[in-house]
């Protein structure tokens, strides 16, 4: 994973990672995760589950989701096909950036990944048809701890790159607002 490019977001804890791609006439190779290398970058989560989702339509919004303790999840997100605008929202009580969001374009072409630590809600919108999202999680799926915030909450104010009405699940369309949310996460400076 030589020549890895990282950038820290304006919200503490979020890290965008761009692994090197090595290509030739056959295609390319990229090492997308190495525990040793990532630990050296300050990403020390122990991942226990990989997830892979496909969103067929452009403008599909998934999120903004999280799992509460004791099954809170850090995530390492990348796009294997297509492109997404990936968003993380700080939901750590006491954080100087509580309720703020950061967004990043992740695509198969740019190879970028986003590390999202525990204490953030996560969502994305598809920018291309048939976009595939692949992400590692630091805890197993525990439906009893699932939570969500509304994708269009005006207090959060995410600037989604949408050109028409989004494709949403019923759950995401009716998720609670940040103002009605009692976060189970605490900022630890």
Active site residues: 65, 135
90 contacts 112 by C-beta, under 8 angstroms: no
HEC-encoded secondary structure of 59-113: CEEEEEEEECCCCCCCEEEEEEECEEEEEEEECEECCCCCCCEEEEEEECCCCCE
State the Rg of the chain over Cα.
16
Query: Cα 154 to chain center, whole Å?
Result: 20
**Interstrand relation of 5-8 and 101-107 (parallel, antiparallel or unpaired):** unpaired
Q: Which residues contact 5 (CB under 8 A, 6 or more apart)?
A: 17, 18, 20
């Amino acid at each position: 994973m030589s020549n890895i490019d990282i950038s820290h977001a304006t919200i503490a804890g979020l890290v965008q990672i761009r692994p090197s791609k090595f290509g030739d006439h056959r295609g390319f190779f990229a090492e997308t995760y190495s525990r040793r290398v990532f630990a050296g970058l300050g990403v020390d989560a122990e991942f226990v589950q990989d997830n892979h989702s496909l969103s067929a339509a452009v403008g599909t919004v998934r999120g903004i989701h999280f799992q509460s303790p004791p099954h809170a999840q850090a995530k390492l997100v990348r796009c294997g096909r297509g492109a997404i605008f990936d968003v993380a929202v700080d939901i750590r009580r006491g954080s100087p950036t509580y309720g703020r969001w950061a967004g990043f374009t992740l695509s198969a072409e740019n190879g970028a990944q986003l590390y999202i630590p525990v204490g953030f809600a996560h969502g994305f919108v598809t920018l291309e048809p048939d976009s595939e999202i692949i992400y590692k999680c630091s805890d197993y799926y525990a439906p009893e701890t699932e939570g969500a915030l509304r994708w269009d909450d005006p207090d959060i104010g995410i600037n989604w790159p949408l050109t028409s009405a989004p494709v949403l699940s019923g759950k995401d369309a009716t998720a609670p607002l940040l103002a009605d949310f009692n976060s189970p996460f605490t900022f630890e400076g």
